[in-house]
Amino acid sequence: MPEPIRTRYTIIGAGAGGLCAGIKLREKGQDDFLIIERELRVGGTWQRNTYPGLECDVASPLYCYSFAPNPDWSGLYPPQEEIREYLERVAFEHGLEPHLRLGTGVVSARWNEARARWRLVLDNGAELESQFVISAVGMFGAPVVPDIPGLDGFEGTIFHSAEWKHDHDLRGERIAVIGSAASAVQFVPEIAPDAGQLHVFQRTPNWIPPKLDEPYTEEQKEAFRRRPELLAQSREDLFNLIETVLNYLEPGGLQMAEEAARQAFAVVEDPEVRKKLVPDHPMGAKRPLASSKYLQSFNRPNVELVTEPIEEVTSGEIVTTDGTRRAVDTIILATGYETQKYVSVIDVEGRDGLKIDEAWEKGPEAYFGVTTSGFPNLFMLYGPNTNGGNSIILMLEFQVEYMLRLIDEAERAGADWIDVRREVMDEYNAGLQEELERVEVWHSGANDYYRAPSGKIVTQWPLGFAVYKERVSKGDLSSFETGQAREA
């Protein structure tokens, strides 16, 4: 059997988190790492998702690394292709190409206590041995396919928005969109003009304030290039604004945003349709959305909002519980992603044979979302309870800085491995759940994807990102058990 490839660090995923980790390792003079990516290009979610109208919902000055500001965004909310190109460019400029192993997935990872190393099996049969594993698989996993009777017997075209069929011509077709959240809000306005008939099946309405996305002028972009401090100030101003408006423990900003969002529904001409689009849950209960096109789509004569539940799908129709049968040619599933798997999408086995899906039986949990007890030298980026209203790019940078500081401390202490103490992680998560309980809007019954089957919220960070940064900046090795390898 061939010897495994040995590397000090294995990074799983070449999205924004994995690239950030690789860049920061190189800055520290660490070149002994590989980035394993199952796709053929870097970019993570911005490489995999390509549906029409896909763009960022975080303002562009915040949606870039602090060490790689981008004065060339086309506007405040850049489209998918621009973000993917930005991530590709940053990876190239920071010398990551020799470290990338594209088109390769990780099947399993097993901890060897004696050697203080992880053994990883790749889907091409190769094996790696690493001292540290950095999971940058992110939060948005496999697309969710709804459990609708008869769906698998539909004889027309069917696909998920995350797996868009660009070779399928939608012009003139009778189209059903199942789902009305983040992806539908972006692609429905793009496909509506060409559709013969478009039925949008809505289970829960959303607050959808206007998206003020004016393109940057060439003069503005040139000013950003000549005076980087302007871009930096814009970044700081936007950060502070989001921290204020999306303060879930002081909901005054959310209430003001809800009132502004309520006024947006006035663009819908039909009062009955408008009524069905207005949520009965408070702003902030679900993921914040924004669009200046989606609500207007329902003024088109070929677009229908359907709120009756789907009873079944036949070979060519969708039947709702009121008995209405709608003939359709294509079904597009806008039903989201598995959001509660994190690194457990891989077969991970830690100390004493502990499987991570067993450790997370009641829901994923971690210490600051980065480490989880029983799995030494395993770090997560965008792990449990680190999703929030501000830019995930910021969160990733905070986490990479924290992770590398811990590794440096361990090296100075002569330790080969670190593992967060169980009592420390339990105390942290108990406090975190108490803080989550205080966020009233998340207990309105409108946020299923935040919760594990146990009912515990496992995706959200309840406080501002500035609070997270402050807390991890105080974290040190005292919260961890450390040890040395017994075998070379």
DSSP codes, 127-194: EEEEEEEEE---S--SBPPP--TTGGG--SEEEEGGG--TTS--TT-EEEEE--SHHHHHHHHHHGGG
Instruction: Name the token pair of 384.
Output: 């449990």
> Which residue spans of the chain are classified as CATH 3.50.50.60?
5-142+338-483, 151-206+289-333
Q: Is there a contact between 48 and 13 (Cβ–Cβ < 8 Å)?
A: no
Q: Is there a contact between 411 and 251 (Cβ–Cβ < 8 Å)?
A: no
Name the band, by pLDDT with cuts 50, 70 and 90, for residue 25: very high
Contacts 24+ apart (CB under 8 A), 348-352: 348/108, 348/109, 348/110, 348/375, 348/378, 349/108, 349/109, 349/110, 349/111, 350/111, 350/374, 350/375, 350/376, 350/378, 351/111, 351/113, 351/375, 351/376, 351/419
Q: Whole-angstrom Cα distance, residue 405 to residue 371?
A: 13
CATH architecture of the domain 5-142+338-483 equals 3-Layer(bba) Sandwich (3.50)
pLDDT for 447 equals 65
Q: 472 in the Ramachandran plot: left (φ > 0), alpha (ψ -120 to 50) or beta?
A: alpha
Name the band, by pLDDT with cuts 50, 70 and 90, for residue 249: confident
pLDDT, mean of residues 345-368? 96
Of the listed ranges 109-113, 163-167, 212-216, 355-359, the one predicted with least confidence: 212-216
In this structure, how many other beta carbons lie within 10 angstroms of the beta carbon of residue 40?
9
Candidates 214, 438, 179, 188; CA nearest to 287 is 179
CATH number of 151-206+289-333, picked from 3.90.1070.10, 3.10.129.10, 3.50.50.60, 2.30.36.70: 3.50.50.60
Does the pLDDT value for residue 301 go beyond 80?
A: yes
In this structure, how many other beta carbons lie within 10 angstroms of the beta carbon of residue 423?
10
pLDDT, mean of residues 178-187? 96
392: which residues sit within 8 A by CB, 6+ positions away?
A: 16, 58, 382
pLDDT for 446 equals 66
Which amino acid is located at 222 in the chain? Answer: E
